[in-house]
Amino acid sequence: MNMTRVRVWSFTISIDGYGAGPNQDLENPLGVGGTDLHKWLISTRTFRQTIFGADGGTTGIDDEFAARGFENVGAWILGRNMFGPIRGSWSDMEWKGWWGDNPPYHVPTFVLTHHAREPIEMEGGTTFFFVTGGIQEALDRAREAAKGMDVRIGGGANTIQQYLRAGLVDDLHIAISPVLLGEGERLFEGIDLRALGYECVQFVSSEKATHVVLQRQG
Nearest one of 48, 16, 8 to 176, comparing CA atoms = 16
Residue 146's contacts (CB-CB under 8 Å, 6 or more residues apart) are: 4, 73, 74, 75, 107, 108
**108-112 and 210-216 beta bridge pairing:** unpaired
Coil, helix or strand for 139? helix
**Residue 178: predicted pLDDT:** 96
In angstroms, rounded to a whole number, what is the distance separating the alpha carbons of residues 67 and 47?
8
Q: Please give the backbone phi and psi of residue 184, each rounded to the nearest 5 degrees, phi first.
A: 135, -140
- The CATH code for residues 29-87+152-216 is 3.40.430.10
The answer to whether the pTM exceeds 0.85 is yes
Nearest one of 160, 49, 184 to 104, comparing CA atoms = 49
Residue-wise pLDDT tens digits, 111-149: 999 999 999 999 889 999 999 999 999 999 999 999 999
pLDDT-flagged residues of the chain (< 50): 1
Q: How far is CA 56 from CA 50, 65, 84, 104, in A?
A: 12, 17, 29, 17
Per domain, the residue ranges of the chain are 29-87+152-216
**Residue 1: predicted pLDDT:** 43
- Report yes or no: 168 and 139 within 8 Å, Cβ to Cβ: yes
Nearest one of 104, 100, 80 to 90, comparing CA atoms = 80
**Residue 2: predicted pLDDT:** 54
Nearest one of 52, 50, 82 to 69, comparing CA atoms = 50
Paired with 20 in beta bridges are 185
**Residue 144: predicted pLDDT:** 96
**Residue 62: predicted pLDDT:** 96
